[in-house]
Chain A
Amino acid sequence: MRPEAVDAMLPFLSERFANPSGSHRFAREARTAVDDAREMVADVLGCAAGEVVFTSGGTEGDNTAVLGTVARLGGTALCAAAEHHAVLAPVEHVHGVVVGSTGAGTVDLEALAGALRERPDVRVVSVMAVNNEVGSITDLAAVAAVVRDLAPQAVLHTDAVQAPCWLDLRAITPLVDLLSLSAHKFGGPKGVGVLMARQGVAYEPMVIGGGQERERRSGTHNVAGIVALAAALRGTDAERPAEQVRLAALRDRLVDTLVAELPGVHETVPRAQKVAGSAHVCIEGIENEALLFLLDEAGVCASAASACAAGAMEPSHVLAAMGVPRDLGLGALRLTLGRTTAAADVDHGIEAVVSAVRRLRRGRP
């Protein structure tokens, strides 16, 4: 977590523990903290404070956008094949439409247009801002143009969970009606997030009860989480321009060196189409489950696709949607750079990956 986020939340775990929905002075103090946090978030998002709904995280925001909109407006939902499961699963749950992706992992605009023409009953379109596995950036202005033109009745949602470190959210928010964030993706704590809900855009709340968040999301406020989220988002936003430049250079060195040192390493998405902190490659002739074990032993924490409920690596649905051959996809490696990544970490990462891949290709230690 970002230090300012930790500092912001600690008092609310101890002496400032009141429930902001209460009426006594301590409750009012907590209420002030939540209201301040809401304004800070609205400032970074470029929306009104009243449009910020605090949630338990990205999955809740995504679920609410899809299921809540369909519950309110009827019809069905549409998303792209490379969306996060937090969007895909609810879209499939309402027997919605899943359209194809480009080779970069972004929604195929022609497929999107075709599907919208064919399905006038689509009431919510969900398209991610940045792909969580391969880092590709969606041209949301182009998506919005297609949706507004062909499905003016539909609500447009974006899962922007991966965006805050890399994109200026002020440029995205005006394009959409709903937008989800998750605090732990930008240096905040786990278990708290935001759903930006444009004024006048109505959805059925997923959590009902005490009527908090203007009856859009009930449940006692996670005050400590909310103030930490706001502090982390503000810090991330302020650092973003400089961090992007620094991390793009490190990422380029990482990927360029891997490609130069090892034959059969393919960069999954061209750099011009992706965020600075994502290094995603597919390595021929290895199984990433074995590679991750060796990297873990070498102190490098990497990922491949996503893990199933049992904790095993699953073949990536994102790579499948992009048309990456299954064999090559089994050698997918996801290295992510962020605020705490230093040049020495990249050197260590390069050394570990090169030696692990060579060892696996030799077949014996």
Chain B
Amino acid sequence: MALSGGVDSSVAAAELLAAGHEVVGITMRLWGGDSDTGCCSIADVDDARRVAQQLGIDHLVFNFTDDFHQHVVDPYVQAHRDGITPNPCIECNRHLKFHRLSERADLLGFDAVATGHHARIVQHDGVWRVARGHDSQKDQSYVVHMLPQRELARTLFPIGHLTKAEVRERATALRLRTAAKPDSQDVCFITSTGGRTEFLGTRIPFRRALVVDAVDGTELGEAESLEMITLGQRRGIGLPGGGPKRYVVDIDHTTATVKVGDETMLDVDTMRVGDMVWSHERVEGEVRVQCSAHGATHEASAVVDDDGVHLTWHSPQRRVAPGQSVVLYDLSDTYVLGGGIAR
């Protein structure tokens, strides 16, 4: 059981025990630098250990800092340098929780790895699927979409059938110290005091960006750091307040130029998704598509080719920043079919 020190994984461990499993709690040490909860989140590890002690299960800490740097932090920094908007939490799930940890668990003789995600794993006709969590407000199927069949077969999401309110009720009933602990919101290695700017500013050089009107090319100003600018952004691009709302509608990294325009200029009819991971088989035709962690889904037609998936939206949608995860669901909007990275 991956114990993060939060309420979801605490209750998930209790659910596993109640279901009769033999459970060992593992906290992954991922980040050795500053974080909002102290060096390598010692407060969170303390919470995880106390919960494990309360539940009467063993608790161990695995040091995966090298893997976290290699697969999450370094690519995060490099992506910003390349003008891509990464999703580090998804890469952490892909490389750490559902690869490094499950590989280690396998080696040590465990049958399954469980996490406290709000998602469900179901099996129909011999095929495993990730399904949305019971609590639609908290559903995390988007961030665990990358699980292929062999991982799905040995992964457990013990709280996927509960609402967040039910999770907290159970934690309270069990008197777990994490019962009222707020949900974590942000990227664990970015502090709220320094933010992304401080984190990236100490690791890559920022380039100044020329801000131009997307329609007529008029120079409107300069932004301090091209690497901090994302498609669809409105603030922090060095434009004076007042006047019509202007959005970043295109970024040219070679010339360090940011084009701004009105919101409708962000709308597109199609998009490409690369690095696809399919839950089972490739799926073509009508699908529902989700492009952010808690975003709405929209219908599209999918065509699969050698480079990934080409999506044609049924109605124009806002352009998705390259680097963001795009997840395909079935038409009932319940089951993950697969997912990849926006190009």
Determine the distance from Cα of A62 to Cα of B303 in the docked complex, in whole angstroms: 68
A289 touches B63 (CB 8 A): yes
Residue among A290, A293, A313, A360 facing the most chain B CB atoms (10 A cut-off)? A293
A309 touches B40 (CB 8 A): yes
Q: Taking the complex as formed, is A142 at the interface, i.e. its CB lies under 8 A from any CB of chain B?
A: no
B42 touches A290 (CB 8 A): no
Nearest CB of chain A from residue B214's CB, rounded to whole Å = 48
Q: Taking the complex as formed, is B29 at the interface, i.e. its CB lies under 8 A from any CB of chain A?
A: yes
Residue among A290, A307, A311, A365 facing the most chain B CB atoms (10 A cut-off)? A311
Chain B residue at minimal CB-CB distance from A311: B61
Task: Report chain B residues within 8 Å CB of A314.
Answer: 63
Query: Among residues 336 to 365 in chain A, which have CB atoms less than 8 Å away from a CB atom of chain B?
Result: 359-360, 363-365
B61 touches A365 (CB 8 A): no
Chain B residue at minimal CB-CB distance from A356: B108
Task: Report chain B residues within 8 Å CB of A363.
Answer: 107
Q: Taking the complex as formed, is A242 at the interface, i.e. its CB lies under 8 A from any CB of chain B?
A: no
Query: Among residues 1 to 37 in chain B, which have CB atoms less than 8 Å away from a CB atom of chain A?
Result: 27, 29, 32
Give the number of residue pairs across the A-B interface with Cβ within 8 Å.
Answer: 45
Q: Taking the complex as formed, is A201 at the interface, i.e. its CB lies under 8 A from any CB of chain B?
A: no
A290 touches B104 (CB 8 A): yes
Query: Among residues 49 to 106 in chain B, which have CB atoms less than 8 Å away from a CB atom of chain A?
Result: 49, 60-63, 65, 104, 106
Nearest CB of chain B from residue A305's CB, rounded to whole Å = 10
B40 touches A293 (CB 8 A): no
Q: Taking the complex as formed, is B240 at the interface, i.e. its CB lies under 8 A from any CB of chain A?
A: no
When the two chains form the complex, which single residue of B29, B45, B108 contacts A294, counting CB atoms closer than 8 Å? B108
B45 touches A290 (CB 8 A): no
Chain A residue at minimal CB-CB distance from B60: A293
Task: Report chain B residues within 8 Å CB of A359.
Answer: 107
Task: Report chain B residues within 8 Å CB of A360.
Answer: 107
Knowing A289-B62, A289-B63, A293-B60 are in contact, say whether A310-B42 is a contact too (CB < 8 A).
yes
Q: Taking the complex as formed, is A312 at the interface, i.e. its CB lies under 8 A from any CB of chain B?
A: yes
Determine the distance from Cα of A361 to Cα of B332 in the docked complex, in whole angstroms: 45
* Interface range for B: 10 to 19
A309 touches B39 (CB 8 A): yes
Task: Report chain B residues within 8 Å CB of A260.
Answer: none
Q: Taking the complex as formed, is A272 at the interface, i.e. its CB lies under 8 A from any CB of chain B?
A: no
Chain B residue at minimal CB-CB distance from A309: B42
Q: Taking the complex as formed, is B41 at the interface, i.e. its CB lies under 8 A from any CB of chain A?
A: yes
When the two chains form the complex, which single residue of B29, B104, B107, B108 contacts A312, counting CB atoms closer than 8 Å? B29
A310 touches B106 (CB 8 A): no
Nearest CB of chain A from residue B87's CB, rounded to whole Å = 25
Knowing A360-B107, A363-B107 are in contact, say whether A312-B63 is a contact too (CB < 8 A).
yes
Task: Report chain A residues within 8 Å CB of B40.
Answer: 308-310, 312
Q: Taking the complex as formed, is B182 at the interface, i.e. its CB lies under 8 A from any CB of chain A?
A: no
Determine the distance from Cα of A308 to Cα of B107 in the docked complex, in whole angstroms: 24
Determine the distance from Cα of A307 to Cα of B60 in the docked complex, in whole angstroms: 11
When the two chains form the complex, which single residue of A310, A364, A365 contacts B41, counting CB atoms closer than 8 Å? A310
Determine the distance from Cα of A364 to Cα of B42 in the docked complex, in whole angstroms: 32
Q: Taking the complex as formed, is B109 at the interface, i.e. its CB lies under 8 A from any CB of chain A?
A: yes
Determine the distance from Cα of A189 to Cα of B97 in the docked complex, in whole angstroms: 40
A311 touches B49 (CB 8 A): yes
A310 touches B107 (CB 8 A): no
Task: Report chain B residues within 8 Å CB of A310.
Answer: 27, 29, 40-42, 45, 61
A311 touches B108 (CB 8 A): no
Knowing A308-B40, A309-B42, A312-B29 are in contact, say whether A364-B60 is a contact too (CB < 8 A).
no
Residue among B27, B61, B108 facing the most chain A CB atoms (10 A cut-off)? B108
Determine the distance from Cα of A310 to Cα of B45 in the docked complex, in whole angstroms: 6
Determine the distance from Cα of A365 to Cα of B62 in the docked complex, in whole angstroms: 19
Nearest CB of chain B from residue A314's CB, rounded to whole Å = 7
Query: Among residues 308 to 348 in chain A, which have CB atoms less than 8 Å away from a CB atom of chain B?
Result: 308-314
Task: Report chain B residues within 8 Å CB of A290.
Answer: 104, 107-108
Determine the distance from Cα of A293 to Cα of B104 in the docked complex, in whole angstroms: 11
Determine the distance from Cα of A311 to Cα of B40 in the docked complex, in whole angstroms: 10
Nearest CB of chain B from residue A61's CB, rounded to whole Å = 26
Knowing A289-B63, A313-B63, A365-B109 are in contact, say whether A308-B104 is a contact too (CB < 8 A).
no
Determine the distance from Cα of A248 to Cα of B23 in the docked complex, in whole angstroms: 40
Nearest CB of chain B from residue A80's CB, rounded to whole Å = 24
When the two chains form the complex, which single residue of B29, B49, B106, B109 contacts A308, counting CB atoms closer than 8 Å? B29
Chain A residue at minimal CB-CB distance from B30: A312
Task: Report chain A residues within 8 Å CB of B63.
Answer: 289, 308, 312-314
Nearest CB of chain B from residue A303's CB, rounded to whole Å = 14
Chain A residue at minimal CB-CB distance from B44: A310
Determine the distance from Cα of A293 to Cα of B106 in the docked complex, in whole angstroms: 13
Chain B residue at minimal CB-CB distance from A363: B107
When the two chains form the complex, which single residue of A293, A307, A309, A313 contacts B108, counting CB atoms closer than 8 Å? A293
Chain A residue at minimal CB-CB distance from B106: A364
Nearest CB of chain B from residue A360's CB, rounded to whole Å = 6
Determine the distance from Cα of A308 to Cα of B41 in the docked complex, in whole angstroms: 12
Task: Report chain A residues within 8 Å CB of B109.
Answer: 365
Task: Report chain A residues within 8 Å CB of B39.
Answer: 309
Beyond A293-B108, A310-B29, A314-B63, 14 additional pairs, beta carbon < 8 A: A290-B104, A294-B108, A307-B61, A308-B63, A310-B40, A310-B41, A311-B27, A311-B45, A311-B60, A312-B63, A312-B65, A313-B63, A360-B107, A363-B107
Chain B interface (Cβ < 8 Å from any Cβ of A): 27, 29, 32, 39-42, 45, 49, 60-63, 65, 104, 106-109
Show 15 residue pairs from A and B whose CB-CB distance is below 8 angstroms, ordered by the A residue: A289-B63, A290-B104, A293-B108, A309-B40, A309-B42, A310-B27, A310-B41, A310-B45, A311-B49, A312-B40, A312-B62, A314-B63, A364-B106, A365-B107, A365-B108
Q: Which 3 A-B pairs have the closest CB atoms?
A: A312-B63, A312-B29, A365-B109
